Structure 1
Amino acid sequence: MSLPRTSRPMGRRPLPALALVLTVVAAVLLPVAAGTAAVGDGSGVARTGADRVVSHPVRFDLRNLNETSVPCLADGEAYAVRARLVGPRRDVLGQTGSTRVNVLVHDAGTGSWFWRMPGRPALDYAAALARRGETSLVLDRLGYDASPLPDGDATCLGAQATMLHQVVQHLRSGRFVFTAGPVGSTPLHAAKVVVHGHGTGAAIAQLEAAEFTDVDGLVLMSWSDTGATRRALDEAVRQSSACLASAGGYTAYGASARDFRDLLFSSAPAAVQRAAAERRNAVPCGDVASLASALGASLATTDRIAEPVLLLHGSEDRRFDADSAAAQADRFSSSPAVAVRTVRGAGSALPLEAQSAQVQRAVLRWLARR
């Protein structure tokens, strides 16, 4: 069933008392470490051992190459890019032969933690998908956390998109390794790949889909090729200036932790915003320097994307104008189905905002139609 090209605000929907209790119970049981498992799926129905939600670290051996139309340079070296597979046990361990995999690509300045906020089960986007039978790969892009890059000038957004392409191909062929947990297990083979991106991660996902045509759908959060606010443009200029003076090739996203929170959040509790700011990552300067070129390439190639697309925007996003979502949808002229959802009251960090449950439901409904 195709989704219409439409923009529809998402308001709060009250849960029945029983459903609310079950949701809280499921959140308490949610795994927060590798190898742990939940015994329910959030619906109160017990699951078999094969269906339990598990989380295992994996490694992809990739080349830091730029094979896109973005005119930027990368060092061409081999690097280990690390991630986590989160999903039903039988799918993660390849016992079903093949499955759909959702690849989660984070923004500048965040990391894989953005999709699995430690210590806050209700904000674990990957686990919410897993409880409904979906398998996700939660990436640390090169230059972030578990995927270190000594010189932040040695990569760029074109290379990030090319490495995402390599990840998609390796998922399809099972060319990755478990780094802990199920020793000797057979890697899954992805029958379908849907890429979810947030912010700059959405730009990378969109560029990869347009230039390599190897994904089956896109979920793009808080991103548009045009419509950046003055606040976002000022931050891009500040980062560029900081990179010119940087000796290590990295710069902060936001001049301070307060600026970081202000750029990303609108409705999340203060404790969530502080926890995110404590985990913020420096941004590779090669990514910063190539942002304008990546925007140009994206504008020129968006109409090539022939897969279904879900666009999610917050009504209080401080980085993009309110009308940018509809304009972005119009650029996907070759897609058979483009859906736009505006999350009322939310800022940019949709999976971590107070409306996170609404975001999860919107994505799960969209995936169910695929």
Structure 2
Amino acid sequence: MRQRLATTLVGIVGLALAGATTAGPAGAAERTETDARTAPVRTATAPAKAATVEKIANRPIAFEVVNTNETSALCLADNRPHVLRGRLVGPRSKVSGSAGRLRVNVLVHDAGTGAWFWNLRQAPAFDYATQLARRGETSLVLDRLGYDRSPLANGHATCLGAQATMLHQVVQHLYSGNYRFIDRANEDDQPPHATHVVVHGHGTGATIAQLEAAEFADVAALVLMSAPTATPTGQALRAVTDQLGRCVGGDGYSAYGATPAEFRSLLFASAPAKVRRLATARRNPTPCGDVSSVLAAVGSATLTSGRVEAPVLVLSGGRDARVRRLGRAGAEAMFGGSARVSTRTFGKAGSALPLEAGAAGVRETVLRFLAGVRPTL
């Protein structure tokens, strides 16, 4: 019975995800796929030079949020207050709260990973947040509720609609400065206010980011990596089947990938062995409320995608084991209300783009896109 229910749910998810690619002409996504070497992001402004950025700060921070669902993705959460923790990574003068315009990049992780995905300090060449900081960018590396430094006792007590709502609360707190340094030295040590926020999402985190941008309209831009709104592969559907089957048993949390080897095969195609080992050692179980609400979240993100007005960058891996590439035509059809839609495919990469062998190219593409983003305040 448990397996039949899980299989049925995944079948529905598969149909919903497959339907997400039908917004444009048939076959458009496949016809427009290009390799990263031949499809630069269209922007008039070059990224910041890699030159002389000051010392990087990496400070722990905390946000008070309410785990409630205010999106169109129908799912239930506990409606209780929680603390989300993360780290603010950027040039020291910006992280210290100095005056002036400040862009904050909010980095939203996938199922089964965590904030470490964006801030893998044991492998500096693949530390997305720190490498962006060396180019003058400031990032919030956030543990979503139910992961690492943002614990949740009952994994059934949240869902992806609530995750998008809490992301909205975090964005608003960044604008107002209503959050705190955990290691605050004195009363004058206050965190900075953002003048504009760009949300970067990977995998399920991309669905959360997309849903937040569509329904709350408070971000300056979106960077979507390996987004599940593209067509899922059979391997991806089998992984979700396994997760759902174990969640029906009531344990509250379920691993993404039944084994460490499967986890690696879902995320990676070209990452160095050291990166794969580090990621495997840090993988997290997924809150079952997130797993069981995948259908609702992906469906709502797809249906509301035309409401995203901010510029959108869609990044894909040519060897992604989980989703097939959306393509430029498909992305432009999906985000028809966006001010600017850019796409890029990295031919040799799998799903985990910031951790794959072409990670430097991913960052350069993002930096070029960010150079054209304007403040919302």
Tell me which interval the TM-score lies in, with the shorter structure as reference length.
0.7 to 0.9
Q: 1:240 to 1:325 in 2, by over 3 A?
A: farther
Q: Which residue number in structure 1 is paired with residue 161 of structure 2? A: 158
Q: 1:353 to 1:218 in 2, by over 3 A?
A: same
Which is bigger in relative contact order (C-alpha 8 A, separation at least 6)? 2
Q: Which residue number in structure 2 is paired with residue 100 of structure 1? A: 103
CA contact (8 A) 2:181 2:190 kept: no
| Structure 1, gaps ≥5 residues long | 13-40
**TM-score normalised to the size of structure 2?**
0.85
Q: Does 1:285 align with 2:311?
A: no
Q: Which residue number in structure 2 is paired with residue 200 of structure 1? A: 204
Q: Distance in 2 between matches of 1:328 and 1:286?
A: 28
- Describe the superposition over 1:341-370 as per-residue Cα deviations: whole angstroms up to 9, x where unpaired: 001100000000000010011101111122
Q: 1:267 to 1:349 in 2, by over 3 A?
A: same
3-state DSSP class of the match of 1:83?
strand
- Describe the superposition over 1:296-338 as per-residue Cα deviations: whole angstroms up to 9, x where unpaired: 1111100000010000000000111235664234200000110
Q: Distance in 2 between matches of 1:93 and 1:7?
A: 42
Q: Does 1:188 align with 2:214?
A: no
Q: How many residues align?
A: 332
Identical positions, percent: 54
Q: 1:63 to 1:312 in 2, by over 3 A?
A: same
3-state DSSP class of the match of 2:343?
strand
RMSD: 1.7
Q: Which residue number in structure 1 is paired with residue 319 of structure 2? A: 316
| Correspondence for 2:247 among 243, 250, 256 | 243
Q: Distance in 2 between matches of 1:352 and 1:203?
A: 19
Q: Report matched runs for 1:260-275 at 5 Å.
A: 260-275=263-278
Q: Which residue number in structure 1 is paired with residue 176 of structure 2? A: 173
How far is 1:143 from its partner? 0.2
3-state DSSP class of the match of 1:190?
coil
Q: Which residue number in structure 2 is paired with residue 111 of structure 1? A: 114
Q: Distance in 2 between matches of 1:343 and 1:233?
A: 23
CA contact (8 A) 1:72 1:156 kept: yes
Q: Which residue number in structure 2 is paired with residue 88 of structure 1? A: 91
The amino acid that maps onto 1:235 is: A
Q: Distance in 2 between matches of 1:286 and 1:302?
A: 23
- Describe the superposition over 1:186-236 as per-residue Cα deviations: whole angstroms up to 9, x where unpaired: 221110000000000000000000000110100000014241111111111
CA contact (8 A) 1:7 1:339 kept: no
CA contact (8 A) 2:198 2:220 kept: yes
CA contact (8 A) 2:230 2:325 kept: no
How far is 1:116 from its partner? 1.0
How far is 1:93 from its partner? 1.2
Q: Which residue number in structure 1 is paired with residue 36 of structure 2? A: 10
The amino acid that maps onto 1:148 is: P
**TM-score normalised to the size of structure 1?**
0.86
The amino acid that maps onto 2:202 is: H
The amino acid that maps onto 1:152 is: G
How far is 1:251 from its partner? 0.3
| Structure 2, gaps ≥5 residues long | 1-28, 39-48
